[in-house]
């Protein structure tokens, strides 16, 4: 009954497969369409119900034709997969069900055969609709890519196919429109809605030089941008490719089930034949029997149906696909079902600091005006001096000025001294920004000890500081100006609750592994409540720490717990490779993060990590419950069928059918629950 062989096909050929197939083979897609199958199953069920009532309650012999019509509909829609399997020299569940229904009708029980096929087609259509639902979750990402773009061609703005855009093209994006391809803001500033990709509800502010990612929505003002990558190489396309590949990957338990499904189906058929022969030849049970004495064939058919592993085969893939689709909607990209299983058994987490726990970008959070009372003037001068620098500190100063709507001051000239700072002419006075030793010459003598005192306190806090000073005018040396600009690398959203959330999930310890200095690392670790911090580490040192932690976890009681490493996907590559499961705190467009880790977290919030862990554990529980349901139903019904036939209490074929197909439907519905998993994302 397994239909998940269609996943690979649909992933490769895309959503237009059905349309193209209908042109050449009009009948086949109709029979395979899950909505058509569902309607056919409902019709077959109605005919069967009416027929059974009229025949058995009102003794209307002609109504048997309704039962045979129901059986015929079931054979049309349930028999086609069986024929396809036999033509491919395969013997699978579809063949078992078709054979069981035909044999039931042959021995005079067409209503049981019709019931089997009705429930078989019904559960198959529900299973296909479940797969379609998970596929829709992913295909909704396809719809994020606009087909049209407003592009500058030959000096005029014209509408063009988004697929025709190449690197270097200039585009205009108006409010409410989607970004057609990855680009850089060339003019203007606005806010972007990235919720459909990252699951974050808050818009992201962008200005000149910032990245724009395909599929995000411009929510405020019109902007112009320069394309950096064509649509087929965009970040969103990489996400789509990654999720599609993940859907095709099988978990170890599923690979085992897939490998054994055909031998098992043959074994069920063989066992049913053996039971029929033993019951007839050894126990002298008649082959066909009658209404009161069920024959050996009846027992064999019942056993064939209840022992068929329909529910078992779909137990893992339905849950896995649902979890992958739900995670993708929240900006968590699992690269396969095995990643879900490994994340679920995580017992400890190692996190990098820069770029993972923090953004890796310093932000101005305080200006200490030692001898410069006008903070706006100070920022205007500093921003003008740092206007052309790409250094993170320069970016932080420019951002601080922009956030306060402070325009850069007018400077006569700017000179750069490598590794020390910048000097410029401002109002016929020299002004410097940079390290204290570089700026000291312009700091009034009476303020130098105060500046050094401020810098020492900042260093103890593990923060970053630059000094800015303007020389005094010649007529009054006491009017020299100086100040200290204090910056810090801000932590990501969700960092303050990360440790408590992981501890609540029995994940401990949560430690920091960083190459940064111990003072800065300890400050961040203490503020976030991390269990331990290891600083000043080289890549090989991180490998040693991860290995050490894995060994300690294995030594614990019930030591099948793994170590998750969370990094930025570039400088943490050795530790990520050694981890039991690796997570990259990527952003949309971070190719290295997407390529190196098992799981990519597109959201900027660290709250995504415990949410992903809870989802993985929920998926694992769902798979376990599915396996218990399917194996229990198979085993119990098989035993009851054999024992009951020997003690004269035969399990009715209809009861066997209901137990078998009911278990399948229950497994599908249980897996679909994961699509409604609460928390992160919409």
State the catalytic residues.
352
> What are the C-alpha distances in Å from 155 to residues 159, 169, 184, 224, 477?
13, 12, 20, 14, 55
Q: Which token pair is 244?
A: 């599609």
Any idea which residue has 């596929």 for tokens?
A: 135
CA gap 41, 74 in Å, rounded: 7
The CA distance from 111 to 525, in Å, is 69
> Could you give the CA distance from residue 509 to residue 498 in angstroms, rounded to a whole number?
12
Strand order in the sheet with 358-368: 358-368, 481-491, 464-470, 429-434, 421-426, 414-417
> Which residue, 378, 402, 382, is CA-closest to 391?
382
* Edge-to-edge order in the sheet of strand 223-227: 156-161, 148-153, 170-173, 223-227, 183-187, 211-212
Looking up tokens 């932690």 gives 549
Query: Any residues with CB less than 8 A from the CB of 113 and at least 6 apart, and which?
Result: 71, 74, 100, 101, 102, 103, 104, 105
Q: Judge if the upstream peptide bond of residue 367 is cis by omega within 30 degrees of 0.
A: no
Cα dist from 416 to 71, 103, 392, 420, 433, whole Å: 86, 90, 16, 8, 10
Q: Hey, how many other C-beta atoms are within 10 angstroms of the C-beta on 639? A: 12
Instruction: Give the 3-state secondary structure of residue 457.
Output: helix
E strands within 240-389?
A: 332-334, 346-351, 358-368
Neighbouring C-beta atoms of residue 419, cutoff 10 Å: 8
Own/partner pairs, 18-23, CB within 8 angstroms, 24+ separation: none
Residue 274 CA: distances (Å) to CA of 278, 285, 290, 298, 302:
6, 13, 21, 13, 13
Please state, in angstroms and rounded to a whole number, the distance separating the CA atoms of residues 172 and 189.
Answer: 12
Q: How far is CA 338 from CA 316, 486, 507, in A?
A: 11, 45, 19
Sheet holding 562-567, edge to edge: 332-334, 599-601, 581-585, 562-567, 346-351, 510-513, 532-534
What is the β-pairing status of strands 421-426 and 223-227? unpaired
- For 288-389, strand residue ranges (E) read 332-334, 346-351, 358-368
Q: Could you tell me if 470 and 429 are in contact, meaning their C-beta atoms sit under 8 angstroms apart?
A: yes
């Amino acid at each position: 009954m397994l239909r998940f062989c269609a996943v690979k096909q649909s992933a490769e050929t895309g959503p237009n497969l059905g349309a193209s197939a209908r042109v050449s083979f009009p009948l086949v897609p109709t029979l395979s369409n899950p909505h058509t199958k569902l309607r056919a199953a409902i019709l077959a069920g109605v005919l069967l119900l009416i027929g059974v009532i009229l025949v058995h309650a009102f003794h209307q012999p002609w109504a048997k034709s309704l039962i045979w019509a129901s059986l015929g509909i079931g054979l049309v829609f349930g028999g086609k997969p069986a024929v396809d399997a036999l033509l491919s020299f395969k013997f699978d569940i579809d063949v078992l069900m078709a054979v069981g229904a035909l044999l039931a009708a042959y021995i005079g029980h067409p209503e049981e055969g019709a019931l089997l096929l009705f429930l078989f087609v019904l559960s198959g259509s529900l299973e296909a609709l479940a797969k379609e639902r998970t596929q829709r979750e992913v295909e909704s990402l396809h719809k994020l890519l606009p087909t049209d773009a407003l592009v500058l061609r030959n000096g005029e703005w014209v509408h063009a196919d988004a697929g025709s855009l190449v690197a270097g093209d200039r585009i205009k994006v108006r409010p409410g429109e989607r970004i057609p391809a990855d680009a850089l803001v060339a003019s203007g500033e606005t806010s972007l809605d990235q919720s459909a990709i990252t699951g974050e509800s808050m818009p992201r502010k962008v200005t000149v030089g910032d990245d724009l990612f395909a599929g995000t929505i411009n929510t405020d003002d019109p902007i112009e941008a320069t394309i950096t990558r064509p649509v087929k190489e965009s970040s969103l396309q990489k996400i789509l490719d990654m999720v599609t590949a993940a859907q095709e990957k099988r978990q170890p338990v599923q690979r085992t089930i897939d490998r054994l499904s055909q031998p098992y189906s043959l074994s069920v058929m063989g066992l049913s034949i053996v039971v029929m022969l033993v019951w007839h030849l050894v126990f002298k049970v008649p082959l066909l029997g009658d209404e009161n004495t069920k024959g050996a064939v009846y027992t064999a058919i019942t056993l064939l149906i209840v022992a068929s592993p329909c529910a078992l085969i779909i137990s893992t893939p339905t849950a896995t696909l649902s979890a992958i689709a739900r995670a993708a909607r929240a900006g968590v990209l699992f690269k396969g079902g095995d990643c879900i299983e490994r994340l679920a058994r995580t017992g400890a987490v190692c996190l990098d600091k820069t770029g993972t726990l923090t953004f890796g970008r310093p932000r101005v959070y305080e200006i200490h005006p030692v001898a410069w009372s006008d903070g706006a003037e100070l920022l205007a001068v500093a921003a003008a001096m740092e206007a052309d620098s790409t250094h993170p500190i320069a970016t932080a100063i420019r951002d601080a000025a922009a956030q306060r709507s402070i325009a850069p001051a007018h400077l006569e000239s700017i000179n750069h001294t490598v590794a020390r700072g910048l000097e410029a002419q401002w109002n016929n006075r020299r002004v410097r920004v940079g390290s204290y030793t570089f700026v000291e010459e312009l700091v009034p003598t009476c303020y130098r000890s105060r500046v050094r005192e401020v810098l020492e306190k900042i260093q103890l806090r593990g923060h970053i500081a630059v000094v800015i000073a303007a020389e005094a005018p010649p007529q009054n040396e006491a009017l020299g100006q100086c100040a200290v600009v204090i910056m810090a690398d801000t932590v990501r959203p969700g960092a303050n609750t990360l440790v408590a959330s992981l501890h609540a999930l029995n994940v401990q310890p949560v430690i920091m592994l960083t190459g940064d200095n111990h003072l800065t690392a300890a400050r961040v670790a203490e503020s976030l409540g991390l269990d331990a911090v290891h600083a000043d580490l080289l890549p090989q040192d991180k490998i040693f720490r991860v290995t050490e932690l894995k060994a300690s976890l294995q030594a614990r009681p019930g030591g099948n717990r793994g170590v998750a490493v969370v990094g930025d996907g570039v400088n943490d590559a050795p530790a990520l490779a050694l981890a039991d499961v690796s997570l990259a705190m990527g952003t949309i467009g971070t190719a290295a993060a997407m390529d190196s880790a098992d799981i990519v977290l597109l959201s900027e919030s660290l709250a995504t990590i415990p949410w992903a862990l809870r989802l993985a554990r929920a998926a694992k529980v769902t798979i376990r419950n599915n396996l218990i349901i399917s194996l229990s139903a198979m085993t119990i019904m098989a035993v009851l069928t054999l024992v009951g036939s020997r003690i004269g209490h035969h399990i009715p074929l209809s009861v066997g059918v209901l137990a078998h197909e009911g278990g399948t439907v229950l497994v599908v519905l249980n897996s679909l629950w994961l699509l409604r998993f609460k928390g992160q994302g919409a």
